[in-house]
Amino acid sequence: MLKPLRNQVIVKPSAETNVEKVVKGIVIPGTVVESKLKEGVVVAVGPGYMFDTGVLKVPDVKVGDEVFYGSGFIEHMIDGEKHLIMSDENINMTK
């Protein structure tokens, strides 16, 4: 598994993320439906961000947390599965 640096987090998106929806017979790809937050599970967390003052800001999430996130991530394939690399600041809430 990759080891994130600073305040970066690796999230495995839930299966229902970007699911196609059918509305009155029209298929709308999940990538078009952006009105809700996406869900995933944290699989790796960086150590945190060090401010110039020497204070370490540790990410608020830990491995195994179920999280909701919006945009601002990079897609990356790890062991043949899609994962997302993002700053901990792009995570909106946990379950």
pTM value?
A: 0.76
Residue 72 confidence (pLDDT): 86
Query: What CA–CA distance (Å, rounded) separates 31 from 44?
Result: 25
What is the Cα–Cα distance from 47 to 39, expressed in whole angstroms? 22
Report domain extents, the chain. Answer: 8-94
For the chain (95 residues), the mean pLDDT of every run of 10, in chain order, is 90 71 57 70 94 93 93 90 93 90
Question: What's the rounded Cα separation, in Å, for the pair 28 and 50?
Answer: 43
Distance CA 43, CA 34 (A): 24
Q: What is the pLDDT of residue 8?
A: 95
* CATH T-level topology, domain 8-94: 10 Kd Chaperonin, Protein Cpn10; Chain O (2.30.33)
- pLDDT at residue 19, rounded to an integer: 47
